[in-house]
C-alpha cells in the first residue's frame, strides 16, 4: 500500500483578503511559509511512523504551490521535485484579482451559479470544474499506474502532490465517485493535508481529508477554505 498526500499550498495575502487567484502568481505570505514548514514536519513524522519514505513531490507550477513543495521536499533526502501543469489552479478568467465582493457585484448571475451549482459554472473566459477534473484526474491515474496500483510493481515510496483548493476538492470528490455539485461539502484549508491510499479493491481510496492538526502551533492563524 502506498500513499499519495494531497497538500494545499499555504496561505497567501490574497487568501487572507479573499481575492480570487486562479492562474495569477501570488507568493506565500509569512504564515503560508510557516504552514509549509509544519507540513514538512508532519509528513516526516508520518513517513517515519509508517517506515516509508517520500520519494517524489509533484507541484503545480504556480509560485504559491512551488515554494510550498520546495520547503516540503527539503526535508526528504533524495526526493525528486516535479512540476506539472495538470495540477495548476483553475483558471478563474475575468475573476482573477477581484475581491469576492467585487465579483458578487459585477457578475451576480455567475456568482450565484458558483455558490449554488458549482458543477454548472464556467468562469468567464476561464475553466470549469469538469475541465479541472479531466486534466488532474487523468494525471493522477498516470501516477497510480506508475505506482503499480498497489505499489508493488513499479517503484516504492509515497508521493506528495502540492496543489490548490479547487484541484484537490475535485480529486477527492472524483475518488469517492461523488458529483462535482458536492464541491462545497468539502473543506480544504490552506496548509491542509488529505491522504489517498492505493488498494486492491478500487485502485484508490480516500483515507483522510483536510488534516490541519499540524498547524496548531500557529494558534488562530487564518487557514480558511478560500
Three cell numbers written together for 218: 500557529
User: Do residues 129 and 180 touch, judged by C-beta distance below 8 A?
Assistant: yes
pLDDT in tens, 140-197: 999 988 876 444 433 468 999 999 999 999 999 999 999 999 999 999 999 999 999 9
Q: Which domains does the chain have, with CATH numbers?
A: 3-92+127-218 (3.40.50.1240)
Specify burial of residue 135 (Cβ count, 10 A radius: 0-12, 13-18, 19+).
middle
Whole-prediction pTM value? 0.94
Amino acid at each position: 500500500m502506498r500513499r499519495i498526500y494531497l497538500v494545499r499550498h499555504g496561505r497567501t495575502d490574497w487568501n487572507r483578503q479573499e481575492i480570487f487567484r486562479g492562474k495569477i502568481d501570488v507568493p506565500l505570505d509569512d504564515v503560508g511559509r510557516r504552514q509549509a514548514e509544519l507540513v514538512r514536519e508532519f509528513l516526516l513524522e508520518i513517513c517515519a511512523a509508517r517506515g516509508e519514505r517520500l520519494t517524489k513531490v509533484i507541484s503545480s507550477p504556480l509560485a504559491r504551490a512551488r515554494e510550498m513543495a520546495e520547503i516540503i521536499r527539503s526535508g526528504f533526502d533524495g526526493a525528486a521535485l516535479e512540476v506539472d501543469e495538470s495540477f495548476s489552479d483553475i483558471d478563474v478568467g475575468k475573476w482573477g484579482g477581484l475581491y469576492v465582493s467585487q465579483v458578487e457585484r459585477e457578475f451576480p448571475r455567475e456568482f450565484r451559479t458558483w455558490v449554488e451549482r458549482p458543477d454548472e459554472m464556467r468562469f468567464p473566459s476561464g475553466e470549469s470544474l469538469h475541465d479541472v477534473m479531466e486534466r488532474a484526474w487523468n494525471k493522477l491515474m498516470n501516477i497510480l499506474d506508475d505506482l503499480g496500483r498497489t505499489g508493488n510493481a513499479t517503484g516504492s515510496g509515497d508521493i506528495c502532490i502540492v496543489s490548490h483548493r479547487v484541484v484537490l476538492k475535485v480529486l477527492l470528490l472524483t475518488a469517492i465517485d461523488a458529483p462535482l455539485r458536492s464541491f462545497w461539502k468539502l473543506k480544504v484549508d490552506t496548509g491542509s493535508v488529505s491522504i489517498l491510499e492505493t488498494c486492491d479493491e478500487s485502485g484508490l481510496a480516500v483515507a483522510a481529508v483536510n488534516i490541519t492538526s499540524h498547524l496548531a502551533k500557529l494558534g488562530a492563524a487564518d487557514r480558511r477554505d478560500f
